[in-house]
Amino acid sequence: MVIVCFLINYIYMFYLMVVVFVLGYIMIAMEHSININKAAFALLIGTLLWTIYSLGADSILSLGYSKNWNTFIGSGIGTHTDKINFITDHELIENLGTISSTLFFLLGAMTIVDLIDRNGGFSIITNSIGSTNLVRLMWVIGILAFIMSSLLDNLTTTIIMLTMLSKIFEAKEYRWVYASLVVIAANAGGAWSPIGDVTTIMLWIGGQVTSGPIISHLFFPSFSCMLVATYLLARYVEGHRIPPVLESTETEQINTRANEIFILILGCVALISVPVFKYYTSLPPYVGMLLGLAVLWIITDRRSRKLKSKDRRKTTVNAALHSIDVSTILFFLGILSAVGALESAGHLTLMSQWLTKYCPNIYATNTIIGVVSSIVDNVPLVAASMGMYNIEPANVLGGLHSFVVNGDFWNLLAYCAGTGGSLLIIGSAAGVAAMGLERISFVWYFKNISLVAFISYVVGIGVYFLQSLVF
Query: Is residue 49 a contact partner of residue 42, using CB atoms and an 8 Å limit?
Result: no
Residue 36 makes CB contacts below 8 A (sequence gap 6+) with 27
Instruction: Please check whether residue 384 lies inside any domain of the structure.
Output: no
Instruction: Please check whether residue 231 lies inside any domain of the structure.
Output: yes
Band of residue 1 on the pLDDT scale cut at 50, 70, 90:
very low
Structural domain including 194 reads 102-326
117: nearest Cα among 170, 176, 166 = 166
Band of residue 398 on the pLDDT scale cut at 50, 70, 90:
very low
Q: Is 77 helix (H, G, I), strand (E, B) or coil?
A: coil
Note the pLDDT tens digit of each residue in 100-156.
Answer: 887 887 788 778 877 877 777 766 666 666 555 778 888 988 998 998 888 767 877
Instruction: Please check whether residue 453 lies inside any domain of the structure.
Output: no
Residue 443 confidence (pLDDT): 84
Q: How far apart are CA 141 and CA 245, in angstroms?
A: 15
- The residue-averaged pLDDT of 413-424 equals 89
- The residue-averaged pLDDT of 18-33 equals 81
Note the pLDDT tens digit of each residue in 233-265.
Answer: 988 776 655 544 444 434 444 556 777 788 888
Instruction: Please check whether residue 262 lies inside any domain of the structure.
Output: yes
Note the pLDDT tens digit of each residue in 323-351.
Answer: 777 877 888 788 878 888 888 888 877 87
Helix (H) or strand (E) holding 194: none
Return the number of other C-beta atoms located less than 10 Å from residue 386's C-beta: 19
Query: Is residue 411 a contact partner of residue 214, using CB atoms and an 8 Å limit?
Result: yes
| Apex 321 CA angle, 294 and 92, nearest 5 | 80
The count of structural domains within the chain is: 1
**Alpha carbons within 13 A on the beta-carbon side of 239:** 2
Q: Rounded to whole angstroms, what are the CA distances from 129 to 151, 294, 453?
A: 20, 30, 25
Instruction: Please check whether residue 346 lies inside any domain of the structure.
Output: no
- The residue-averaged pLDDT of 273-278 equals 78
Instruction: Please check whether residue 210 lies inside any domain of the structure.
Output: yes
Band of residue 47 on the pLDDT scale cut at 50, 70, 90:
very high
Instruction: Please check whether residue 186 lies inside any domain of the structure.
Output: yes
